[in-house]
Amino acid sequence: MSALSFELIKTDGKARRGRLHTAHGTAETPTFMVVGTAGTVKAMTMESVKATGAEIVLGNTYHLMLRPSAERIARLGGLHQFMRWPGPILTDSGGFQVMSLSKLRKITEKGVTFRSHIDGAAYELNPERSTEIQHLLDATITMAFDECPKLPAEKKVIADSMEMSMRWAARSRTAFKARPGYGQFGINQGGTEIDLRIRSAELLTQIGFEGYAVGGLAVGEPQAEMFRVLDDVVPALPADKPHYLMGVGTPEDLIGAVERGIDMFDCVMPTRSGRTALAFTSRGKVNLRNARHQDDHRPLDEECQCPALAGVTRAYLHHLFRCEEILGPMLLTWHNIHFYQNLMKRMRDAIEQGRFADTAAQMRGELQRGDIAPLG
């Protein structure tokens, strides 16, 4: 078996139906990858994650290097065995978390020194160490180490950061240990500056990766701005490789990004929302803490086939969250992940059948029609 590979099965406009072939099985694309930052998808067993239709989960270099350490996970058989997930695992490089979570961060050409947000201990992370950690974790997909500048920022600051991230990408590629069925993705940077994004895409393509991610979006910019960047950047990425939009997003974000040629997504939104009583449904978002649900005997979403909520009423879900019972976050997290997986399957089917535009319009209409009226 050669390196991780991408099979492009069908296109419909810019939307792409594909299949990712890895050492840990295949994944159908477009795909939503479930976030399991610290070796677990919060409030879920891995069996229940698989039951939602998820095929890839994420781990995170930054969090796992702090606890329990990559070396310990390697001694225990690698992250697949440690978290009991046999399918593909993608690990983020840690660059974003160093920016968003760590203390006293100092960046040089060599890498980043910082103090842990947990206990203040000093660490250093650079392209070589990030790649080594991901190798120790046995990540199916390794991400190149990059720097995420805080936005908004002057164009020169963004340009300097992007250029350094591209040099770090080359170092990450050199440090990567190629194995059959494994791969490494480069990360496109450049803020919302199109010329910088195109330059980044050119440099990454010259280095050569098994896949290409678009990073540094979904950090507060309007959705229209994100889509504007994707309109110009995605065509500049190699068409025969998977395209991954990092950290995105809402159901509407996913539909619009698939429309523009994105194949892979990840986001904490469905799991984090599930823990805070916010459900994604075919009629938009529903807050189960709202008192209107306390006597409602109807299901959360009449169109949902999620086994976690079979026979469960809105009134019961409302009760669980009001009483802070752990079952509430468990059930709603399962439902939200199932909703996202079903959304992706509908898009895959639509691309195969050449009706993606109609299905995208239908899904947008469903999400905007509003929750079912309360009992009167």
CA–CA gap between residue 133 and residue 92 (Å, rounded): 11
Phi, then psi, of 9 in degrees rounded to 5: -90, -45
Instruction: Report if residue 172 sits inside a domain.
Output: yes
Contact 210, 5 (CB under 8 A): yes
- Condensed to tens digits (0 to 9), the pLDDT of residues 243-296 reads 999 999 999 999 999 999 999 999 999 999 999 999 999 999 999 999 999 999
- What is the per-residue burial (b if ≥16 Cβ within 10 Å, else e) of 295-309? ebeebbbeebebebb
* Per-residue pLDDT, 234: 98
pLDDT at 360: 98
Which is nearest to 87 in space by CA: 1, 24, 6?
24
Q: Which residues span the domain enclosing 305?
A: 276-363
- Do 280 and 262 reside in the same domain of the chain? no
Same domain, 209 and 238: yes
Q: How many structural domains is the chain composed of?
A: 2
228 and 175 within one domain:
yes
Q: Do 203 and 318 share a structural domain?
A: no
**Could you tell me if 241 and 345 lie in one domain?**
no
Confidence band, pLDDT 50/70/90 cuts, at residue 118: confident
Residues 72 and 42 in one domain: yes
Domain boundary pick from 246, 267, 288: 267
Identify the H or E element spanning 45.
none
Mean pLDDT score, 9-14: 98
Report, as residue numbers or ranges, the catalytic residues.
92, 266
pLDDT one-digit tens code per residue, 189-220: 999 999 999 999 999 999 999 999 999 998 88
Residue 128 has pLDDT above 80, yes or no: yes
Q: How far apart are the first and last CA of the chain?
A: 61
pLDDT of residue 376: 58
Tell me, yes or no, whether 113 lies in a domain.
no
Same domain (yes/no): 54, 158? yes
Better pLDDT: 75 or 304:
75
Q: In angstroms, rounded to a whole number, what is the distance separating the alpha carbons of residues 43 and 34?
A: 12
Whether residues 257 and 330 share a domain: the answer is no
Residue 14 sits in a domain of what CATH number?
3.20.20.105
pLDDT for residue 1? 59
Give the domain-ending residue among 215, 235, 267. 267
Cα gap 90→33, rounded to integer Å: 9
Same-domain status, 166 and 259: yes
28 neighbors 14 (Cβ within 8 angstroms): no
194 within domain boundaries: yes
pTM of the model: 0.97
- The tokens for 182 are 């494994």
Contacts 24+ apart (CB under 8 A), 293-296: 293/317, 293/318, 293/374, 294/318, 294/319, 294/322, 295/375, 296/374, 296/375
The pLDDT value given to residue 103: 66
Q: Are residues 132 and 175 in the same domain?
A: yes
Amino acid letter, residue 170: A
Q: 323 and 242: one domain?
A: no
Q: Given 214, 244, 267, which residue is the final one in a domain?
A: 267
